Amino acid sequence: MEIWKNSELVFVGKVVALRTGEVRLDDGSEAYREVVEHPGGVCILPFTGQAFVLVKQFRIALGKDMIEAPAGKLEVNETPLQCAVKEMHEETGYRADRLISLGVIHPSVGFCSEAIHLFLALDLTEIGQKLEKDERIEMLHVPLEEASALACSESLQDAKTVVILNRALAWLSARKKEI
């Protein structure tokens, strides 16, 4: 176990903060750490009954378009469920009568505190996209029979999307008669 001996926030931005400092290790020795503090987020995978709804958007950090499940950052005092409903509406224009929790993932445990809550969205109704002014998103519908191949392909490089797609496929497979 590691315990902060001393630390300071050296950067606070709109999305993340950076904490640096010394930790005490369980054997009494010390080590330097840098931790990106993130408020957490959600990732939602809408399923129409025939296809999964993904989005394609340019990501400046990578300098290219990425295929992803809709996602967003948690705001102050917002629950993961509230955030999931909001982000799905904004990015895809869908509302879901059922949101199924597929767990939580921590995408970069070595240096980042981010936790992403995963939701499968079922029983969808189209209500119209509500993109934020700086969002440029193209929706993609991936047929159920193509989803497994996509989840294992090199064209899908976003980790949270690989995880949620595989968990959703497993959840749906275990409940074929219920859907």
Kindly report which listed range (84-98, 123-137, 139-153) carries the lowest average pLDDT score: 123-137
Q: Break the chain into its structural domains and give their ranges.
A: 3-37, 41-175
What integer is the mean pLDDT of 109-118? 98
pTM recorded for the entire structure: 0.93
CATH number belonging to the domain at 41-175, selected among 3.40.50.2000, 3.30.1360.70, 3.10.180.10, 3.90.79.10 = 3.90.79.10
Model confidence at 179, pLDDT cuts 50, 70, 90, reads low
Computed over every residue of the chain, the mean pLDDT equals: 95
Q: b/e per residue, 81-116, with b = 16+ CB within 10 A?
A: eebbbbbbbbbbbbbbeebbebeebeeeeeeebbbb
Instruction: Tell me what pLDDT residue 123 has.
Output: 97
Question: Residue 105, Cα to own-chain centre: how many angstroms?
Answer: 8
Higher-confidence position of 32 and 175: 32
Q: Is the pLDDT of residue 178 over 80?
A: no
52 within 8 A of 144, measured Cβ to Cβ: yes
